[in-house]
C-alpha cells in the first residue's frame, strides 16, 4: 500500500486541518491579489469604463469556470476516500479518470466561452459604453481557460492526499508573474483590458505546467502516467455523483449572481464599478472560507473512508466555528475601512458611495456566508452533496431571483442589491444548522453516506 505523507486520518485534528488550510489560505491570498491587481491597474491606468468592464464580468466567468471545476471537487472527494481506505488501485483509476475528464471539459469550455460571450453580455444588459471591453476581456480569458480548468483538476488530485503546500508555491509564482505582466502590458506597452486578461492566462499556464510536473514525478498513488489517462466507468460514475451536485450548485448560484449583475447594470457605470470593487474587497475577506472548505472536504472524506467518525465530528466543529469567527472579525474591519478600500480602485465619489454602501451592509453578515460555505464542504465530505446543492438552490438562488422579479420590479433601488445577500446568507445558515442537528453532527457520530 502506498504511504501518503500528509494523511489526515492520524494525528492532532486541529493541527492537521490548520496544516492543510494555512497554505491554501496563503495561496488563494496571492490568487485573489493578482485578480485584484487586474482591477487596480485597469481602474488607475485606464478609466472607470474599463474598471466596470473588468469587474462586472466576474459572475459570468465564475458560472462557466465554476461548473467545470465543480467536478474537480467531486474527483478530490473520491480520491481522498480511496486514500483514506488505503485502496491504491482505485485511487490510480480515479486520478487518471479525473485527468481525462478535465481534458474534455477544457476543450468544451474554451470553445463555448469564446463563442457565446457576446450573446451573454447582451442578455445581461451590459451598457454600450463597456460592452466592447467586457467582450474582449472575456474572450481572451476564455481562450486560455483550459489552463485554469486543468490546474484546478490537478490541484484537487494533489490536495486529496492532504498536500496543500506545493499549490501555494504555484500560486505565489503565478501571482507575481501576473502582477508583473499586468504592469508591463497595461502601464508599459499601453494595452487595454485585453492586457489584463492575457496576463492572467499566461500566469495560469505557468501554474498548470508546475502542477503537471509535480504529479508526473511523484512516487505516491496519485502519480499521473500519460499512457494511463483514460476514463474508468466506475470512477467516472462516482466523480459525477459527487461532482455534479457541486457543479450545479455553483452554477446556479453564479446564474443568480448574473441576474443580480443585470439589475446592477441598470444603475449605470458607477454602480457597476463601485459594487464590482466591493466584491473584489470581499474576495479577500472570504479567503478563510475557501481554505477551511477545502481542508474540511479532504479531512472529512479521508476520515469517512477510514471510518473514523469521531475525528469527523471534532474537525467539523473546529472548522465551522473558526471560519465564522474569522469572518466576523474581518467584517468589522471592512465596515470601518470600506470607503478607503473602494477608493483604491477608483477615487470617483459616486463609485466609492456605491461600493462602500454595499460593503457596510454586508460586512456583519460575512460570518453567516462563511458558515454556509463551510457547512457545504462538510456535507460533500460526508457523501451528501445533494444537501448543500438543494439548500443553496432554494435559499440563495430561488429567493434572490424571486425578490428581483417581484419586489425588484416595483422598487428600483440600489439598497435592494445591498440587502439581498445578507438576507439569503441568513436563510441558508438557519437551514444548515438544523441539518447538522438532524445528523447529530455536534453530539455523536455523524451519519455516513
Assess whether pLDDT exceeds 60 at residue 318.
Answer: yes
Is there a domain that residue 5 lies in? no
* Structural domain total, the chain: 1
Is there a domain that residue 102 lies in? yes
> Helix/strand/coil (H, E, C) string of 173-187?
HHHHHHHHHHHHHHH
| Number of residues in the chain | 449
Task: Specify the pLDDT at position 310.
Answer: 85
Q: Which domain holds residue 240?
A: 13-438
Assess whether pLDDT exceeds 60 at residue 448.
Answer: no
Q: What does the DSSP 8-state code read for residue 10?
A: S
Residue pair 309/448 in contact (Cβ under 8 Å)? The answer is yes
Contacts 24+ apart (CB under 8 A), 215-222: 215/154, 215/157, 215/158, 220/2, 220/4, 220/5, 220/161, 221/2, 221/4, 221/83, 221/88, 221/91, 221/92, 221/95, 222/79, 222/83, 222/91, 222/92, 222/95, 222/157, 222/158, 222/160, 222/161
Task: Specify the pLDDT at position 4.
Answer: 52
Model's pTM, two decimal places? 0.71
pLDDT digits (tens, 9 = 90+) for 17-60: 988 888 888 877 877 776 677 777 877 777 777 777 776 667 67
Is there a domain that residue 352 lies in? yes
Task: Specify the pLDDT at position 178.
Answer: 87
pLDDT digits (tens, 9 = 90+) for 140-194: 888 888 898 899 899 989 988 888 788 888 888 888 898 889 889 988 888 888 8
Nearest to 305 by CA among 79, 85, 31: 85
Q: If residue 160 lies in a helix (H) or strand (E), which one and from where to where?
A: none
Is there a domain that residue 449 lies in? no
Nearest to 167 by CA among 6, 406, 328, 332: 6
Nearest to 296 by CA among 239, 380, 384: 380
In which band, very low, low, confident or very high, does the pLDDT at 334 lie, cut at 50, 70 and 90? Answer: very high
What φ, ψ does residue 446 adopt, rounded to 5°? -70, 150
Residue pair 84/4 in contact (Cβ under 8 Å)? The answer is no
Reading the block at residue 30, the C-alpha cell is 496571492
pLDDT digits (tens, 9 = 90+) for 397-445: 889 888 888 888 888 888 898 999 999 999 999 999 888 888 766 555 5
Is there a domain that residue 409 lies in? yes
Q: What is d(CA 299, CA 301) in angstroms, rounded to the nearest whole number?
A: 6
Task: Specify the pLDDT at position 208.
Answer: 93
Is there a domain that residue 2 lies in? no
Reading the block at residue 408, the C-alpha cell is 425588484
Q: What is d(CA 346, CA 340) in angstroms, rounded to the nearest whole number?
A: 10
Residue-averaged pLDDT of the chain? 84
Rg (CA), the chain: 21
Is there a domain that residue 1 lies in? no
pLDDT digits (tens, 9 = 90+) for 98-132: 999 999 988 988 888 888 888 888 887 777 877 88
Reading the block at residue 411, the C-alpha cell is 422598487
Q: Residue 89: CB partners within 8 Å, gap ≥ 6?
A: none
Q: What is d(CA 41, CA 46) in angstroms, rounded to the nearest whole number?
A: 8
In which band, very low, low, confident or very high, does the pLDDT at 254 lie, cut at 50, 70 and 90? Answer: confident
Q: What is d(CA 282, CA 334) in angstroms, rounded to the nearest whole number?
A: 8
Reading the block at residue 443, the C-alpha cell is 453530539
Task: Specify the pLDDT at position 42.
Answer: 76
- The maximal CA–CA distance of the chain, rounded, in angstroms, is 64
pLDDT digits (tens, 9 = 90+) for 357-412: 999 999 999 999 999 989 998 998 888 888 888 888 888 888 988 888 888 888 88
Residue pair 443/435 in contact (Cβ under 8 Å)? The answer is no
Task: Specify the pLDDT at position 441.
Answer: 65
Is there a domain that residue 446 lies in? no
Task: Specify the pLDDT at position 286.
Answer: 86
Amino acid at each position: 500500500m502506498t504511504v501518503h505523507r500528509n494523511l489526515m486520518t492520524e494525528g492532532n485534528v486541529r493541527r492537521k486541518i490548520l496544516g492543510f488550510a494555512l497554505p491554501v489560505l496563503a495561496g488563494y491570498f496571492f490568487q485573489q491579489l493578482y485578480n485584484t491587481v487586474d482591477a487596480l491597474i485597469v481602474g488607475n491606468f485606464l478609466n472607470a469604463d474599463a474598471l466596470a468592464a473588468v469587474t462586472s464580468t466576474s459572475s459570468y466567468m465564475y458560472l462557466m469556470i465554476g461548473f467545470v471545476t465543480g467536478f474537480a471537487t467531486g474527483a478530490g472527494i473520491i480520491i481522498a476516500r480511496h486514500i483514506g481506505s488505503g485502496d491504491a488501485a482505485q485511487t490510480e483509476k480515479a486520478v487518471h479518470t479525473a485527468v481525462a475528464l478535465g481534458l474534455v471539459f477544457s476543450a468544451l469550455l474554451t470553445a463555448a466561452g469564446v463563442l457565446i460571450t457576446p450573446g451573454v453580455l447582451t442578455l445581461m444588459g451590459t451598457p454600450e459604453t463597456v460592452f466592447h471591453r467586457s467582450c474582449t476581456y472575456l474572450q481572451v480569458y476564455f481562450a486560455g481557460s483550459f489552463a485554469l480548468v486543468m490546474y484546478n483538476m490537478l490541484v484537487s488530485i494533489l490536495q486529496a492526499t492532504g498536500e496543500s503546500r506545493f499549490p501555494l508555491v504555484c500560486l505565489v509564482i503565478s501571482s507575481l508573474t501576473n502582477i508583473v505582466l499586468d504592469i508591463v502590458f497595461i502601464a508599459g506597452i499601453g494595452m487595454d483590458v485585453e492586457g489584463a486578461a492575457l496576463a492572467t492566462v499566461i500566469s495560469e499556464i505557468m501554474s498548470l505546467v508546475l502542477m503537471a510536473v509535480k504529479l508526473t514525478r511523484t512516487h505516491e498513488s496519485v502519480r499521473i502516467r500519460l499512457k494511463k489517462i483514460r476514463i474508468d466507468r466506475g470512477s467516472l460514475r462516482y466523480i459525477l455523483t459527487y461532482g455534479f451536485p457541486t457543479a450545479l450548485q455553483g452554477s446556479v448560484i453564479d446564474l443568480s449572481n448574473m441576474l443580480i449583475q443585470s439589475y446592477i447594470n441598470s444603475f449605470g457605470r458607477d454602480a457597476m464599478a463601485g459594487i464590482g470593487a466591493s466584491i473584489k474587497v470581499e474576495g479577500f475577506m472570504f479567503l478563510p472560507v475557501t481554505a477551511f472548505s477545502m481542508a474540511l472536504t479532504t479531512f472529512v472524506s479521508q476520515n469517512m473512508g477510514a471510518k473514523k467518525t469521531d475525528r469527523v465530528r471534532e474537525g467539523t466543529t473546529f472548522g465551522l466555528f473558526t471560519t465564522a469567527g474569522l469572518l466576523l472579525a474581518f467584517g468589522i474591519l471592512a465596515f470601518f475601512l470600506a470607503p478607503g478600500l473602494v477608493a483604491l480602485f477608483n477615487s470617483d465619489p459616486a463609485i466609492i458611495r456605491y461600493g462602500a454602501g454595499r460593503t457596510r451592509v454586508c460586512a456583519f453578515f460575512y460570518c453567516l456566508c462563511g458558515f454556509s460555505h463551510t457547512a457545504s464542504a462538510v456535507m460533500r465530505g460526508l457523501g451528501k452533496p445533494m444537501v448543500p446543492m438543494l439548500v443553496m438552490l432554494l435559499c440563495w438562488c430561488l429567493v434572490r431571483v424571486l425578490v428581483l422579479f417581484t419586489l425588484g420590479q416595483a422598487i428600483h433601488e440600489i439598497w435592494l442589491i445591498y440587502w439581498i445577500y445578507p438576507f439569503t446568507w441568513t436563510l441558508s445558515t438557519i437551514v444548515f444548522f438544523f441539518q447538522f442537528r438532524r445528523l447529530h453532527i455536534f453530539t455523536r457520530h455523524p451519519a455516513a453516506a
